[in-house]
Amino acid sequence: MLALLPQAIIDGVLLGGIYLTVAMGFSLAFGVLHIIDFAVGEWIMLGAFIGLIFTKWLGVDALLSLPVVFVIFAVVGWLLQPLLHRVLSGSRGRPVLMGLVFTFGLALAFRGSALTVFGIFTHSLDTVLSQGSWHLDWGPFFLTVPLIRLAGLVYALAVILGFNYLLKRTDFGLAVRAVAQNKEAAGLMGVDVNRTSAAVYGLYVGISAMTGVFIGAIVSLNAGMGPDLSIFAFFVVVLAGMGYLAGVPWAAFLLGLIQSFFLIYFNPSHVLLALFSILYLILLISPTGMFRKGV
Amino acid sequence: MRGRPAWLWILLVIAAVGTVPLLIADAFFLRLFTEALMWIGLAITWDLMAGYIGYLNFGHGVFFGVGAYTAALLITKGGWPFWPALALGGLAAGLVALVSGWPTLRLRGAYFAIGTWALNRAVGQVALVLDFTGGPDGMRLPPFLHPQFFAYVMLGVVGATFLILWLLLEQAPFGLKLKAIREDESGSLAIGLNPAWLKLQAFVLSAVPTGILGGVYAYWITFIDPSSTLGDLITDQAVVMAIFGGLGTLIGPVIGAVLFFSFKTYFWAYLSDYQVLYLIILGLAIAATVFFLPDGFWGTVANRWEGRRALRKGLSLGQAAGT
């Protein structure tokens, strides 16, 4: 059993990297727009399917669909954000909750559409990296690292670095941080709050959809996978503390590790159950996340 | 409504609805009648948390499923008669609400919604992996084929629930206290209310009738499995009914439940080839209601009504003052 330990850790870290990208976008959207997006798993699922269509249609490698998926979904998010804004700034007492209900409705509609169009079957995305893997033997221990998972980690790091650059080094990032801190004041300083918000939402939707392509290539994709992925995203963001970006990587890697340990050492059909229980306990003990720095 | 107390009207309406199964004995119609009543019960109990306190419980189905499974286990494994099993189903749901609500209700807003959603999926998974619940195969109950009996049991449960909720929420100070929490939780604490205790009371109050409904459902349908009693669809449909009808009122969810259930029946009767289409419509209905009718159907109608009455009153006052 111990021989499998490095494998479990590596698998967990590589998987965690994938969740990290979704959780980053999700956390950013929450920080800037104060939106809790129930449809996050559905964006991932739809992104994976658009990638699949693109790959099948042109007969090219799935990795080449990444920029296409990003652009399509960034535009969709950009166009959707004004609707969300109207719901969130409504006259009704609790706009945040109305926003939650709104995205909940969107999630159902997306899932239903995907089930209608793509059916209930599980597909997988093929890339040149799908078959290759690295083997390492070291005494009693051994390690298999599929190249596509490694590519996922590289992608995750690229997204994180890109985020970091965008938020810390550009005017746009300055505007985003200003809006996150104080909407009115940012508006008074000449920041176009509506455009910044729409761009953030577009960025978040685009990245989530792009990650969907990786999840489709690493694991699999089917039209009903949205809710579980939404739970994963919530798990990471809540664990890190809502809106606390620095906590996100730790939470994401923890999620990946929990998942891979359950897959290797316990019953894989209990993975979700374990995650739900942990999420639940965490929410009970510390609603502001494991660093107690959330909102 | 002056002169005759309102509770008399409610009893009259319930009695009038009670004559329907006597007049129409068609089995299919009775089935629809019973199910419509069940959804009314689910929608008003969901609205108790969402509309009155502002806590979105996306795990409402847990209570329904726990009630259904408790009653089913007692009837099949324990050989209990229907009524005590039903009562214990409600009690079990209340207990789940007490245990899970004690810590979760400290979570505000979105955290509560997510926490209860996770709870629902976790409980669904438990029912799937356990042996004595039959896992994914579900459980069969001894059939008791008497449609009118179930129509009246459902009417009794839902009618009693409506009356109790109406007394507590619209007549007693309890409802005002809950609304105070909805408007400003810290403020309600400051004026001497105990929000934690009130929320827990309301949570249990919304759970017990839901559990009883689950028990009735189990004995009525005679077959339960995790997806039919603990699936997302129970909560999802209660949500769309309550929101479409109008949050924060008792009559709104009733109207929403009747309208949406009629639509659902029509849909399943004529478009059952396109089952997944139902999910799309459900989702779009939720999103469109939040977008266009944030006060819900009843809220919008009532607002317009109020506005017109106030206008007329103002006009007549103005005339009286002017002449």
| B166-181: pLDDT as tens digits | 999 988 899 999 999 8
| A177-196: pLDDT as tens digits | 888 888 888 889 888 888 99
- Inter-CA distances, B111 with A279, B43, B317, Å: 11, 22, 48
Cross-chain CB nearest to A283 (options B107, B129, B287): B107
Provide the pLDDT confidence category of residue A84 given band limits of 50, 70 and 90: confident
Separation in Å, CA of B46 to nearest CA in chain A: 14
Separation in Å, CA of A215 to nearest CA in chain B: 22
Name the average pLDDT for chain A: 84
The predicted complex's ipTM stands at 0.80
Residues of B in contact with A94 (CB under 8 A): 54, 109, 182
Query: Is residue B323's pLDDT more than 70?
Result: no
Residues of B in contact with A287 (CB under 8 A): 106-108, 111
Cross-chain CB nearest to B282 (options A108, A234, A270): A108
pLDDT of amino acid B92? 96
- Bridge partners (DSSP) of residue A61 are none
Each domain of chain B, given as residue ranges in start order, spans 6-273
pLDDT of amino acid A29? 83
pLDDT of amino acid A279? 72
Q: What string of DSSP letters covers chain A?
A: -GGGHHHHHHHHHHHHHHHHHHHHHHHHHHHHH----TTHHHHHHHHHHHHHHHHHHHT--GGGHHHHHHHHHHHHHHHHHHHHHHHHT-SSS-HHHHHHHHHHHHHHHHHHHHHHHH-S--B----TTSS-EEEEEETTEEEEEEHHHHHHHHHHHHHHHHHHHHHHHSHHHHHHHHHHH-HHHHHHTT--HHHHHHHHHHHHHHHHHHHHHHHHHHT-B-TT-HHHHHHHHHHHHHHH-TT-GGGHHHHHHHHHHHHHHHHHHS-GGGHHHHHHHHHHHHHHH-TTTTTT---
Out of A96-100, A205-209, A288-292, B212-216, pick the least confident: A288-292
DSSP state of B295: T
* Portion of chain B with pLDDT greater than 90, in percent: 35
Record: contact B125-A97, CB cut-off 8 A: no
Mean local confidence (pLDDT), B73-91: 92
**What is the reported pTM?**
0.84
Domain at A2-285: CATH architecture: Orthogonal Bundle (1.10)
Query: Is residue B1's pLDDT more than 50?
Result: no
